[in-house]
């Protein structure tokens, strides 16, 4: 299977973002990609007013357009994430898997809220967004696990996806430049290695108002932790062939997943970690 990660510099200009996304999705499909992943908040990345203005429901114009691309091109499209407008003026950071017939076959809402202070900026996603639940979905004969950006810092989630049968995890992202420069490659490769699966991580690049500066470096890593492709600092796509037979060999010769001992694992009493 050939997979592609699309890298964008999305801003508050929704029409322009969708136009560039379509161009790069088409280019990736022309390169032979069967699975194409868009980044986090590919339709709009901006201040709260821009996010509200660009929010839509699952039958909205951007996802409808994305379904048309998938159907026309005959690809599986992970439509990154959008700002989904839900009830009571609340939102979700929502990723949709669209199959080659243009059907929405899975919907994942980001579980872990990016409530952090980094690079002199305070991020509080939980102020406006609600979390979702764990999602895996069939990708032809292969099981796909779905995550979004900050989720990669939570190995519990990635392990559960693997235990549920995921052989590929897609990770639409908008990693900040300070965290990305320090942690992005390490985290993506670690999740691939420890779960012996492919990570297809599509990121945002560049600046967007009011304070966003994204790291980019969209990448694809294999079950051995080898980086198969990494994007330069521009809007583009990167692609790689995912060798599923090699994945079976890795899992067979170094059977870390099979050697787990869940019967002896016990979670400690819940405590508040403040530092």
**Catalytic sites, residue numbers:** 40, 110, 149
The Cβ of residue 113 has, within 10 Å, a number of other Cβ atoms equal to 17
- Bridge partners, residue 240, by sequence: 3
Query: Is residue 34 a contact partner of residue 75, using CB atoms and an 8 Å limit?
Result: yes
Residue closest to 245 by CA, chosen among 260, 223, 226, 228: 223
Residue 231 in contact with residue 184, Cβ under 8 Å?
no
Task: Using the Cα atoms of residue 2, residue 104, residue 185 and residue 273 in order, give the sign of their dihedral.
Answer: negative
Locate the DSSP E strands across 45-100.
76-78, 82-85, 91-98
Cα-flanking dihedrals φ and ψ of residue 252, to 5°? -80, -40
């Amino acid at each position: 299977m050939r997979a592609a990660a699309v890298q964008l510099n999305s801003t508050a200009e929704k029409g322009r973002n969708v136009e560039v996304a379509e161009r790069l999705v088409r280019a990736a499909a022309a390169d032979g990609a069967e699975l194409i992943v868009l980044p986090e908040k590919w339709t709009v990345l901006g201040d709260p007013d821009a996010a509200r203005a660009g929010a839509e429901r699952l039958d909205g114009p951007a996802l409808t357009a994305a379904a048309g691309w998938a159907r026309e091109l005959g690809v599986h499209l992970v439509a990154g994430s959008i700002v989904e407008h839900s009830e009571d003026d609340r939102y979700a950071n929502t990723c949709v898997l669209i199959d080659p017939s243009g059907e929405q076959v899975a919907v994942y809402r980001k579980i872990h809220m990016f409530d952090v202070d980094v690079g002199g900026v305070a991020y509080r996603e939980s102020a406006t967004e609600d979390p979702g639940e764990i999602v895996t979905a069939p990708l032809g004969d292969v099981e796909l696990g779905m995550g979004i950006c900050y989720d990669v810092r939570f190995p519990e989630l990635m392990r559960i996806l693997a235990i549920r049968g995921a052989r590929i995890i897609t990770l639409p992202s908008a990693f900040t430049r300070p965290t990305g420069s320090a942690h992005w490659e390490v985290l993506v490769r670690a999740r691939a290695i420890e779960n012996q699966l492919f990570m297809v991580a599509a990121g945002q690049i560049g600046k967007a108002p009011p304070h966003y500066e994204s790291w980019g470096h969209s990448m694809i890593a294999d079950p051995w932790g080898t980086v198969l492709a990494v994007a330069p600092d521009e809007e583009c796509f990167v692609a790689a062939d995912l060798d599923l037979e090699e994945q079976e060999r890795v899992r067979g010769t170094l059977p870390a997943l099979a050697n787990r001992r869940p019967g002896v694992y016990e979670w400690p009493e819940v405590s508040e970690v403040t530092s």
